Amino acid sequence: MNRIRLNGQIKETLKRELAGELPGKDAQALMMPIARDKSIRLPQFLIAPVKSAVLILLYPDHEGNIKFPLIQRPDYEGAHSGQISLPGGKIEHSDAGLTETALRETEEEIGVKREKVEVIGSLTNLYITVSNYDVTPVIGFTDQKPHFFIDETEVAELIEADLADLLSMEKLKEGDVLVRGKYKVRTPYFDIGGYMVWGATAMILSEFSVILRRSGILDMK
């Protein structure tokens, strides 16, 4: 598998890509789940979507390969129980904006200090129908591997994913998942470290993978 090593050229290249026209919803849709049971009706919300943000935090491992953290949510009575996600959450009144939301939530959930993160841009917003969340994915770098401190009330497990996995066809698979113990859904997913990364997180990472491919960073040594 090709590795992607962190350097200044990669950061500047991605910054330019993120400042330009984004692949958008077409790229997100490549990883969209499909309900096997056509009688399933998604919830209809009468209130405005909840503004929220997640962070794709890129950092080097001890060999210089670029990683990013994913988290497994604890089991709870909710739409995203036990799923693999990016660190993040809903905006608070004290947040200056959604970038701050992503940084604050990441610090609270996995202990990465917000002042250590260089934000280089964001991806296309994604509306999550089952929870009525409107998510802004933020992209950031830190030049050293963070010291992670997990909030166990928010995070069951931290997964250090390799950025190159988003570009490997071997990691792109399809399978069935059972949602809320009763709805069977057929979905594409990323197989990252043996974890099934699907749904909204996979859709966000799908757009990012398109940007990575067109940026040509695999050719940057």
Residue 37's pLDDT is 53
Residue 86's pLDDT is 98
Residue ranges of domains in the chain:
8-28+49-164
Residue 100 predicted with pLDDT over 70: yes
User: Architecture of 8-28+49-164 per CATH?
Assistant: Alpha-Beta Complex (3.90)
Tens digit of each residue's pLDDT (9 = 90 or more) over 102-151? 999 999 999 999 999 999 999 999 999 888 999 999 999 999 999 999 99
Mean pLDDT, rounded, of the chain: 89
Residues 213, 105: Cα–Cα separation, whole Å: 28
Tens digit of each residue's pLDDT (9 = 90 or more) over 70-93? 999 887 665 556 789 999 999 999
DSSP SS3 for 165: helix
Residues 70, 6: Cα–Cα separation, whole Å: 19
CB 157 within 8 A of CB 69: no
Residues 101, 89: Cα–Cα separation, whole Å: 7
Reported residue count of the chain is 221
Residue 67 predicted with pLDDT over 80: yes
Tens digit of each residue's pLDDT (9 = 90 or more) over 22-55? 999 999 999 999 865 555 555 666 688 999 999 9
Q: Label the pairing between strands 66-72 and 157-162.
A: antiparallel
- Residues in Cβ contact with 40 at an 8 Å cutoff, skipping those fewer than 6 apart: 183
